[in-house]
Amino acid sequence: MIRRILALPAGRFAAAFLLIIAVLAFFGPLLAPYDPLLGTPEVLAHPSSAHWLGTDYLGRDVLSRILAGAPISVFGAVQVAVIALFAGAIPGILSVYLGRIFEWLTLRFVDTLIALPFLVFAVAATALLGNGIPQAMLTVGVLVSPLFYRVSRAATLSVARSQYVEAAILAGARTGWIVRTHVWSKVLPPIAIATANTLGVGFVIVSSLTFLGIGIQPPAPSWGGVLASDLGYLTQRPYAPIFTTVLIMLSVWAFNLLADVIRDVAGESGRTLLTEKDAARTRRARRALDRKNADPKNAVASEDALVGRKSS
């Protein structure tokens, strides 16, 4: 699937931008030109050669705070997606095979999570468990897990009715073997699409919570915290929120684009699309070869080479 994704221009663009985000997540604090917590007398300074994105109300370099806050924002979104994946996809697959009681219990639990007010419950759970990123992401991941439950359950139900799965059940195959051999490969594409979308949603959720001061305590840098500190001084620096907002927006857009590409390449329609692209590439190469052969200069050169071989 990775080759199919990279075969499309949109897939290559999304992968390239997400690679940049990954580099910022791993090496952002090392790339920061200044200490993100160090204040200076240059308060609310405009962008310059010394401070490329200016300084905030305490004189801290904005670029350094964005780079230092990248790990919290990126890994927070990853934590949300991973927790939601395991809390939703595994019960969704097993609900098809473990009987009506397990199915009824999981469906009622998922309905309860969907009915909960998202932000209110996240704030309350974070206050109960402690104001930290792991606690906040655990709460958010559990609240997002119904998406994976429904996607994986729907995909598993479509596979469970196929003849080869029914034949395996009649042959006495174990549920675990059926899931690993027949179900997982068919359920993986929709789960991959849901994961990419959830990573984009996770960026928005992490930025929103840190914007409100939930999950992280100032002055620790985060993208939401940088955005919140800029909004209080729009009179002096009206352009300040643009930097962080554009970065969050492009990150979410790249994940959504990746989800669209995965959807396009998965299944028969994706194979048809890639086959058509390969056929078009072959036609272009053939036309270029025909034009080259039809060029009089190339024809004269070919005749001269033929005469030279004969004379030798």
DSSP bridge partners of 55: 61
Residue 121 buriedness (CB in 10 A; 0-12 / 13-18 / 19+): middle
308 and 172 together in one domain: no
132 and 233 together in one domain: yes
Question: Which has more pLDDT, 176 or 47?
Answer: 47
Question: Which has more pLDDT, 160 or 17?
Answer: 17
275 and 258 together in one domain: no
CB-based burial, 159-194: b 16+ in 10 Å, e otherwise? bbeeeebeebeeeeeeeeebbeebbbebbbbbbbbb
Q: How far is it, in rounded angstroms, from Cα 81 to Cα 78?
A: 5
pLDDT surpassing 60 at residue 96: yes
Residue 62 counted as domain residue? no
75 and 206 together in one domain: yes
Q: How far is it, in rounded angstroms, from Cα 163 to Cα 94?
A: 19
Question: Which has more pLDDT, 231 or 267?
Answer: 231
Residue 245 counted as domain residue? yes
Domain end marker among 242, 265, 288: 265
Residue 175 counted as domain residue? yes
**Cα dist from 129 to 135, 190, 238, 257, whole Å:** 6, 32, 37, 35
136 and 279 together in one domain: no
309 and 218 together in one domain: no
> What pLDDT was estimated at residue 283?
65
Domain CATH for 200:
1.10.3720.10
82 and 214 together in one domain: yes
192 and 289 together in one domain: no
Residue 311 counted as domain residue? yes
> What pLDDT was estimated at residue 86?
92
Residue 162 counted as domain residue? yes
Question: Which has more pLDDT, 108 or 292?
Answer: 108
Name residue 273's amino acid.
Answer: L
Residue 210 counted as domain residue? yes
234 and 210 together in one domain: yes
Q: Are 113 and 142 in contact (CB under 8 A)?
A: yes
The boundaries of the domain holding residue 283 are 268-312
Which tens digits make up the pLDDT trace of 1-37? 678 888 888 888 999 999 999 999 999 899 999 988 8
Total domains, the chain: 2
Which tens digits make up the pLDDT trace of 262-278? 888 876 444 544 455 55
Q: Are 267 and 6 in contact (CB under 8 A)?
A: no
Token duo for residue 232: 């209080």
Q: Which of 59-73, 213-227, 242-256 has the lowest mean pLDDT?
A: 213-227
Q: How far is it, in rounded angstroms, from Cα 162 to Cα 120?
A: 42
93 and 221 together in one domain: yes
Q: How far is it, in rounded angstroms, from Cα 102 to Cα 93?
A: 11
164 and 312 together in one domain: no
273 and 261 together in one domain: no
Residue 37 counted as domain residue? no
Nearest Cα residue to 190 out of 121, 281, 267, 112: 267
Residue 13 counted as domain residue? no
